[in-house]
Amino acid sequence: MDDETIRELFEAFGPVSIRRMFGGKGIYRDGLIFALVLRDELMLKGDELNAPEWEREGAARWTYQNSKGKPVAMPYWSAPVDVLEDRDGLTSWAREAFSAALRAEQAKRGPDV
């Protein structure tokens, strides 16, 4: 997925920046990563608030095998094809992913920030 396609996908969500990472691309808004493209698959950040709904909608969690052969689950879920084909749906998922990124950032900073 090229950068222009990514920007078009998120056009209704707002401006995004794209950085190469993990052999793929990180997608950021306001300095927070909320999505990834790995092997041409779009994955959106999730957490305990939005992931259960996404799984019901057909999203799969990104996992990989670490150097010891154990699976590692990352906080990103694949965007189902029907979401990718519906700009309003994708915009909604992007907002949810960005909210998860904000919650993760707040958790890192602690409750007093």
pLDDT in tens, 1-10: 899 999 999 9
pTM for the structure as a whole: 0.89
List, for residues 30-70, the tens digit of each pLDDT value.
999 999 999 889 999 999 999 999 999 999 999 999 999 99
Detail the DSSP E strand segments found in 1-113. 17-21, 24-29, 32-38, 41-45, 61-65, 71-78
pLDDT the model gives residue 23:
86
> Domains (ranges, CATH) in the chain?
3-105 (3.30.1460.30)
- pLDDT score for 108: 85
